[in-house]
Amino acid sequence: MHNRPMSGSSVPEKLAWLMYAMNLEEFRNVLFYRIGTPTKFLDRSLLSLCKTLFPPRGTLLLATSAIGPGLVIMHGFGTFVDAEKVGENCLIFQDVVIGCKNEKNDRPTIGNYVHISVGAKVLGNITIGDHAVIAANSVVTKDMPPNSLAVGIPARIIRNAGNRAEYVASGDIPA
């Protein structure tokens, strides 16, 4: 989380780290989703207190029933996530829409280690494979195989087989 590890083990250091983390909108929005889910592992009054002290900002809506650990939503403004499932360690940027293509409940399934860039749309009953990358402003309406890169409107696969999301995320795309 912005390369600021929890360095100390004392209670004041842990509280300082928590206060720092709660001021990061990306962290706060995902935290509120996790503590507000049906598991209700925290009391509703504590959730209300957290939302009062650290109000969620921007428009981020997480309506997904299953989100794996490690989800990062960067600059979550204008982001709508209504997927059947979001896998582990996914990275989603601002202005992304993930959801139904029509009135039916045909929500997408997002695999593990998926990178969804700014303004992308993922629509319908489709599956995005593990380590897939969706380029900025792309509109994906068909299944994406694992290790693939999709670009355009409508999105088309331009890379596949062995090129993983980490390459694109770091800007080091192999030829």
pLDDT at 167: 46
Banded pLDDT at 168 (limits 50, 70, 90)? very low
- Greater confidence (77 vs 4) lies with 77
What class is the 58-170 domain? Answer: mainly beta
Give whichever of 3-12, 62-71, 98-107, 156-165 has the largest mean pLDDT.
Answer: 98-107
Say if CB 136 and CB 112 are below 8 A apart: no
Domain extent listing, the chain: 1-57, 58-170
39 exposed, middle or buried (CB, 10 Å; 0-12, 13-18, 19+)?
A: exposed
pLDDT at 66: 83
pLDDT above 70 for 165: no
pLDDT at 173: 46
Token pair, residue 170, equals: 């770091």
52 exposed, middle or buried (CB, 10 Å; 0-12, 13-18, 19+)?
A: exposed
Mean pLDDT of the chain: 77
